[in-house]
C-alpha cells in the first residue's frame, strides 16, 4: 500500500487541499492539462457540471465550490479515485457533491448537464474518449458544452466535429483544450 500525499494549491482565488495517491494520475501536482482546461472554464450559477474521469477530484471540487455542490456530479472508473474524491470533497467543504463510480456513462444516470469536463486517458486507444464524446453529447442540454483536454489534436478535433458539428481548439503549453457546444438534438452527422 502506497502512502497518500497532499497537494495544496489556490486556483481562481479558491484554496484547495487535495489528498492524492500514486495509484492515480498526477499524484504529485496538478497536471498541466488540467490547469489548461481550468484556464478556459467560466462557471455560471445555473451550471450543472459533470467531471467525467474525475481522478482525485480537483475539477469537480473547484466546480462545486463555484456553482454549489448540488449542481456537480463527479465520476471515475477507479474505486480509489472515488474514495479520494469523497475525502477531498469533505476536506474542501463540499461533502454533498455527488460522486459515482462508473465506467464512463455506464453506471451514471444523470442528464441535463450544461458542462461536461474531462481530461481523458489519451495514452490508450480511442475507445474511452469515443464513449465519452458520443454518450456525453446525449447527456448535455441544448447549448451545453463539452470541454476536453489532451496532447493529441487531430482525432479529438475530428470526432468532436463529427458529433457536435464543430469544435473550438485552444493550444496551451503543449495541450489542446477542446470546447464543443450541443446545438442540435442529434449528432451532426452519422458516425
Q: How confident is the model at residue 191 (pLDDT cuts 50, 70, 90)?
A: very low
- pLDDT per residue over 28-39, tens digit each? 778 889 999 999
| pLDDT exceeds 50 at position 51 | yes
Query: What pLDDT does 23 receive?
Result: 78
Q: Across-strand partners of 75?
A: 52, 100
H helical segments located in the chain: 32-40, 58-67, 79-91, 127-139, 154-164
Q: In the predicted model, what is the mean pLDDT of residues 175-188?
A: 94
**DSSP track, 123-137:** TS-SHHHHHHHHHHH
| pLDDT exceeds 60 at position 97 | yes
Query: What pLDDT does 4 receive?
Result: 78
Nearest to 7 by CA among 40, 41, 56: 56
Q: How confident is the model at residue 21 (pLDDT cuts 50, 70, 90)?
A: confident
pTM for the full predicted model:
0.93
Q: Rounded distance, CA 85 to CA 33, Å?
A: 19
Q: Rounded distance, CA 8 to CA 19, Å?
A: 9
Fold of 31-181: Rossmann fold (3.40.50)
Q: Which residue has the higher pLDDT, 61 or 12?
A: 61
- pLDDT per residue over 112-160, tens digit each? 999 999 998 766 678 889 999 999 999 999 999 999 999 999 999 999 9
Q: Among 9-23, 54-68, 74-88, name the one with the lowest average pLDDT.
A: 9-23
Q: What's the order of all strands across the beta sheet hosting 72-76? A: 98-101, 72-76, 49-52, 113-118, 140-150, 175-181, 168-172
Q: Across-strand partners of 146?
A: 116, 180
- Which cell numbers in the block locate residue 28? 504529485
Task: Spell out the domain ranges in the chain.
Answer: 31-181
Amino acid at each position: 500500500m502506497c502512502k497518500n500525499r497532499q497537494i495544496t494549491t489556490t486556483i481562481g482565488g479558491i484554496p484547495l487541499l487535495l489528498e492524492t495517491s500514486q495509484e492515480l494520475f498526477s499524484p504529485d501536482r496538478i497536471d498541466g492539462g488540467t490547469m489548461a482546461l481550468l484556464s478556459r472554464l467560466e462557471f455560471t450559477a445555473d451550471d450543472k457540471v459533470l467531471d467525467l474521469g474525475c481522478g482525485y477530484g480537483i475539477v469537480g471540487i473547484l466546480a462545486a465550490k463555484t456553482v454549489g455542490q448540488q449542481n456537480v456530479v463527479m465520476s471515475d472508473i477507479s474505486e480509489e479515485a472515488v474514495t479520494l474524491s469523497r475525502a477531498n470533497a469533505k476536506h474542501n467543504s463540499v461533502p454533498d457533491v455527488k460522486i459515482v463510480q462508473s465506467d464512463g456513462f455506464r453506471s451514471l444516470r444523470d442528464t441535463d448537464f450544461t458542462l461536461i469536463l474531462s481530461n481523458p486517458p489519451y495514452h490508450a486507444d480511442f475507445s474511452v474518449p469515443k464513449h465519452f464524446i458520443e454518450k456525453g453529447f446525449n447527456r448535455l442540454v441544448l447549448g451545453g458544452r463539452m470541454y476536453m483536454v489532451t496532447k493529441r489534436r487531430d482525432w479529438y478535433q475530428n470526432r468532436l466535429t463529427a458529433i457536435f458539428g464543430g469544435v473550438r481548439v485552444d493550444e496551451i503549453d503543449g495541450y489542446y483544450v477542446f470546447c464543443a457546444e450541443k446545438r442540435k438534438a442529434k449528432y451532426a452527422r452519422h458516425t
